[in-house]
Structure 1
Amino acid sequence: MKYTLSLLLMGALIGCSPIVHKARKPASPPLLKEITEIETTDGQEARNPKGVLTLKEALALALVQNPGLKVFDLQIRIREAQTLQSGLFPNPEFGLETENIAGSGGFNGLDASETTVSIGQLIELAGKREKRARVAALQSDLAYWDYATARLNVFSDVMAAYAATLAAQQRVAIQKEFLNIAETFKEKIDRRVSAGRLSPAEAIRAEILVKNTRVRLAGLQKELNNRRYRLAATWNSSEPLFTEVEGTLEASPTLPDAAELRQKLNNNPMLARWATEFEANKAEKELAEAGAVPDPVVSGGFRYFNESGDNAFVAGVSIPIPLFNRNQGAIEEARVRLEQNRWKKKVVENDLRKRLNQLITSLNRLMAEKESLETGILPQSEEALRVISDGFEQGKFQFLDVMDAQRTLFEARERFLDVRLGVFNLVVEIESLIGQKL
């Protein structure tokens, strides 16, 4: 009996060491590997750049300071803590029992009492602890995949916000140029009206054009400020300190074959995670099957007989009888969940392919429009304005003709800017889907 109790205690102590499964961090998509993240530590004040902001700096800041990413990072730590907890051995139970007390006759008082001190230990069979820890570790792996998806989404958000800010800057520049032309033209009109060569109505029209242009410029400047705030929010800043963004919206991608692009969708974390998801489902099914095996409780202790002053060791074992509950429901749930996730993966694949096809179609359309504007409409609008402006100086055209030519040119330039912004955003979204540069 002494050896039985000693072995029980030794086994309990040895089994207290947790089973540790290391989470597997997925490789970063190629699209993000070139970005050098800015080193920060917990509690460090967030950086907020001043002066001219570059795209690389904005991406590096956002991938470190974005509050949404911090949520996913903490979720990983939660999963890792759950993995640690799931690998711990069940605690032993201490028991103290006194029998034959406060009865009648010879059992009155404590003279005939028997006191037992024992320790019991649940012994998990069928590798439950190992399988439980493995399920938790795979959940940590999935948390890493969620983090990878979130980083790619932040990348897309920063790229879109940066491009929108850059486009807003260029719209303001175009409108300032238009205002400068309108003001210069108004001065010419005023001189001609003063000389009696034009009707005063022409001066009023020129004044209205200048005022309308100033109003539109003020609105575009407010929109630019709004875009600056949205961009700064991606790195958790409440107020932008940068003065302007640097870069270009030029993008002339060469699209690979559609089949090749669809194959590259496997780089997307939303698809790549499913191998781990299936592995986790299989581990959950194995854990559920192990739950059908009953776990015994082994106990041992020491009993003292108060009446005789003798003592003895006691030992016992108890085990549930799997008569009704053999964990059938949990096993079936795990089996169905695995099948369900196979269909979920098909849904994700279908959605990504559908979105990719839509983006390719939209990109081809905008690229054609961009070429048409760049090689035809813009040069022709510029030439038309030059001819009409020269003709106006010679008295061949009216002021309204000049206004119409100016409006046509600047509308074409704004449309060209919108198209370039659209192409840029479409390229970014395609690259985010395939996880790499085109």
Structure 2
Amino acid sequence: MKRCLSIALLLATGCASGPPAIDAPVAESINTKPASNAANVSLAGYDESAEELAQPPAMLEPVAAAAVELTTRDVLTAESLETRALENNPAVSQATARVQALRGKWVQVGLPPNPTVGYVAGEIGNEGGTGQQGGFVGQQFITGKKLSRSRAVVSAEITRAEQELAAVQRRVQTDVRRSYYDALLAQRRVSLADELVRVTSEAVTASKALVEAKEVPLAGLLQTEVQQQDATLLLQTAQNRLAQAWRNLAAVVGEPGLTIRPLSGDVDKLPAMLGWEKQLARLQSQSPEVAAAMAEVERARRALSRARVEAVPNINTQVSVQYDDATEDTIAGVQVGVPLPIWNRNQGGIRQAKAEICEALRNADRVELDLHRRLADAFRQYSDAHATAQAYADGILPRSAQTLELVRSAFDQGELGYLELLTAQRTYSQTNLSYLDALSVLWSSYVQIDGLLLEGSLSEPLRR
């Protein structure tokens, strides 16, 4: 009977087996392509001598992960989920609509004012006659190339909006991958807990038989029952975690009704250790946040150029043709007028534009420092989790398995007692749970760094 109990307890090794042999580390370079070189701010060309300014072409194509054929109808991959998220996530559509709205604004701000037409009459009733009756046509001519300069400002706004769109796409990708790994690890945790419930139930059955045969005390049975209850509670919490992870995944994919399905992926294949300097340089050169901040600096500079010509007088013209009833002559009139910039030379607007340039420059500095700080936090979490997961995979899990095997062998030979075997089995199970926790932190921080620290696509409001 004692040997039967030891075999039942050893079945726990099936649920707590160490990770498979780790392949060669994945390359440090991130596989996910950046959003069309988002950080290389390609601002629309602006020539103050040009009469017209062409609307900038779309610089960012939608970042969509390549569609991947599913091996089965039910299994989902990270790439297929990314594709669906980029199509369904409302944050992407919202940012795209913002770019389209600004392109409409670009068209509008460059349009000249419409001409005016009207009726004009004078000397009505003079000597009982109808006086002078006729019509006029008026037109305001915009000077100082204000229209092209206004379009230059909006061009920079379009560039900034496109970088914000790239940031939203990155946020969606990060959210999908993080939720994907959370769900994948939650599935592993449920499998582990389910196996623990099975093993501890068999141990309880074997313990009852040993108690009836008076080979072990009642305390031994009570301990196995406690372990069974712990395993049942672990299974319940693991199932709750899986439900939460899947609901989060369904939300960021934009399909709240997405049902739980198996996910393909290998969380045991650890990524290579990332280098701080390389990741910092990558973040500074590719981050859409930096690109958007620099686009705002350019917008502010163009706004100053526009403000400086605001006081240049526009020319108002009017041509009229009238019929003089008294003399029976047709007469014409011409009016040309300009406002005199005596009191208002847009002094306040120029000062405001200069201050906005200073604000934009300081904001660009703030963004870079904030990225540096956020990367430091994420990089520390990644480094700690990578070291922990590597230690578990290379040493702790194999040694824990070996320890359990040795304790079982000693128990079979009567060298160790029943409580020592229970302790070894419980330690082995807890070691596997700790390994899953380390993997969770590892992949979460890796995905965050991979995604240029952009996350929270559904909680980040779009700036107006």
TM-score (norm: length of structure 1): 0.84
Establish whether residue 378 from structure 1 lines up as the match of residue 397 from structure 2: yes
Amino acid at match of 1:57: S
Matched-pair contact (CA < 8 Å) for 1:169–1:224: yes
Shift of 1:27: 5.0
The match for 2:66 is 36
Going from structure 1 to structure 2, the CA distance change for 1:27 and 1:434 (only over 3 Å counts) comes to: farther
Question: Would you say 1:354 and 2:373 are equivalent positions?
Answer: yes
CA shift, 1:228, in A, is 0.8
Give the alignment partner of residue 196 of structure 2, picking from 178, 203, 208: 178
The separation in 1 between residues aligned to 2:124 and 2:67, in whole angstroms, is 72
Q: In the TM superposition, what is the alpha-carbon distance from 1:159 to its structure 2 partner?
A: 1.1
Q: Is the 8 A contact 1:37 1:61 kept in 2?
A: no
**Alignment partner, residue 124 of structure 1:** 142
Q: Distance in 1 between matches of 2:324 and 2:357?
A: 57
Cα gap change, 1:417/1:345 in structure 2, threshold over 3 Å: closer, same or farther?
Answer: same
Match of 1:224 among 210, 229, 242: 242
Q: Which amino acid aligns with 2:238?
A: L
How many residues align? The count is 399
C-alpha separation between the residues in 1 aligned to 2:85 and 2:193?
31
Structure 1 residue identity aligned to 2:81:
A
In the TM superposition, what are the counterparts of 1:34-433 in structure 2 within 5 Å? 35-36=65-66, 51-101=74-124, 106=126, 111-249=129-267, 250-256=269-275, 258-265=276-283, 266-433=285-452
2:379 alignment partner AA = I
Structure 1 position 58, deviation (Å): 0.8
Q: Distance in 1 between matches of 2:411 and 2:358?
A: 76
Listed one character per residue, the Cα deviations across residues 119-170 of structure 1 (whole Å, up to 9, x for unaligned) are 1111000101111122122211211111001111111111111111011111
Higher helix share: 1
Q: Deviations over 1:266-298 (max 9, x none)?
A: 111111234432322221111111111010111
Distance verdict in 2 for CA 1:185–1:387, change over 3 Å = farther
Contact 1:168–1:223 (Cα < 8 Å) also in 2: yes
* 183 and 317 in structure 1: CA distance in 2 versus 1, 3 angstrom threshold: same
Q: Where in structure 2 are there 5+ consecutive unaligned residues?
A: 1-50, 455-464
Q: Which of the numbers 39, 46, 56 marks the counterpart of 1:23?
A: 56
Decide whether the 8 Å contact of 1:62 with 1:234 is kept in 2.
Answer: yes
Any gaps of 5 or more consecutive residues in structure 1?
Answer: 1-17, 39-48
Deviation at 1:69, TM superposition (A): 0.8
The offset of 1:74, in angstroms, is 0.7
Deviation at 1:50, TM superposition (A): 6.0
* Contact 1:135–1:280 (CA under 8 A) maintained in structure 2: yes
The share of aligned pairs that are identical, in percent, is 23
Report the equivalent of 1:44. none
Partner secondary structure for residue 279 of structure 1:
helix
How far residue 37 of structure 1 moved from its aligned partner, in angstroms, is: 6.0
Structure 2 counterpart of 1:384, which letter? T
The superposition leaves residues 20-48 of structure 1 with CA deviations (integer Å, 9 ceiling, x where unpaired) of 6333444579xx67x2269xxxxxxxxxx
Runs of 4+ aligned residues of structure 1 deviating over 6 Å after TM superposition are none
Partner of 2:28: none
Q: Distance in 2 between matches of 1:235 and 1:292?
A: 51
Tell which has more relative contact order, 1 or 2 (C-alpha 8 A, sep 6+).
2
**Quick one: distance in 1 between partners of 2:423 and 2:59?**
58
Normalized against structure 2, the TM-score is what? 0.80
Question: Residue type matched to 2:66 in 1?
Answer: T
SS of residue paired to 1:323: coil
Task: Show the counterpart of 2:17.
Answer: none
CA distance in 1, matches of 2:177, 2:278: 24
For the residues of structure 1 that align with 2:308 and 2:67, how far apart are their CA atoms?
44
Q: Give the whole-Å Cα distance in 2 for the aligned partners of 1:36 and 1:100.
A: 77
Gap change, CA 1:82 and 1:263, over 3 Å in 2: same
Structure-2 change in CA distance of 1:377 and 1:186 (3 Å)? same
Confirm or deny: 8 A CA contact 2:293 2:367 kept in the other structure. no
Summarize deviations over 1:339-378 as a string: whole Å, max 9, x none: 2111111111111122223333332222222232223322
User: Cα gap change, 1:399/1:96 in structure 2, threshold over 3 Å: closer, same or farther?
Assistant: farther
Residue 399 (structure 1) shift: 3.9
The structure-2 alpha-carbon separation of the partners of 1:387 and 1:185, relative to structure 1 and needing over 3 Å to count, comes to farther
Contact 1:114 1:304 in 2 (8 A): yes
The more displaced of 203-212 and 53-62 is: 203-212
Partner Cα distance (1:223, 1:261) in 2: 31
RMSD, aligned CA = 2.4
Give the whole-Å Cα distance in 1 for the aligned partners of 2:178 and 2:61. Answer: 21
Distance 2:233 2:375 in 1: 40
Whole-angstrom CA distance in 2 between matches of 1:97 and 1:337: 46
Letter in 1 for 2:353: A
Separation of aligned partners in 2, 1:197 and 1:97:
119
